[in-house]
């Protein structure tokens, strides 16, 4: 079953590697979100993009070079 109508651009950056929590290191989407993307309507795609951006932001904060020095 495919979605009818416009779609948002996929956040895929061709770095498809899932971490232990099944989150893509490239785009920040969960494996489930990646699978749902083609059928998702605009609202769901926007929600997926928002969650992915939040995950990527959290990942960037926890993997900064100086993060080991913080209490």
Let me know if 51 is exposed, middle or buried by CB neighbors in 10 A (0-12, 13-18, 19+).
middle
Q: Are 39 and 14 in contact (CB under 8 A)?
A: no
**Single pTM value for the model:** 0.78
Q: Is residue 15 part of a domain?
A: no
Which domain does 51 fall in, by range? Answer: 36-61
Q: Is residue 56 part of a domain?
A: yes
How many structural domains compose the chain?
A: 1
Q: Is residue 12 part of a domain?
A: no
Q: Is residue 3 part of a domain?
A: no
Q: What is the pLDDT of residue 68?
A: 53
Q: Is residue 42 part of a domain?
A: yes
**3-59 confidence digits (pLDDT tens):** 666 789 999 999 999 999 999 999 999 999 999 999 999 999 999 999 999 999 999
Measured between alpha carbons, how far is 65 from 12 in angstroms, rounded to an integer? 25
């Amino acid at each position: 079953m495919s979605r009818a109508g416009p779609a948002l651009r996929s956040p895929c950056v061709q770095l498809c590697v899932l971490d232990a929590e099944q989150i893509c290191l490239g785009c920040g989407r969960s494996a489930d979100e990646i699978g749902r993307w083609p059928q998702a309507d605009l609202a769901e795609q926007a929600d997926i993009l928002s969650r992915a951006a939040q995950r990527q932001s959290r990942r960037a904060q926890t993997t900064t070079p100086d993060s080991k020095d913080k209490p």
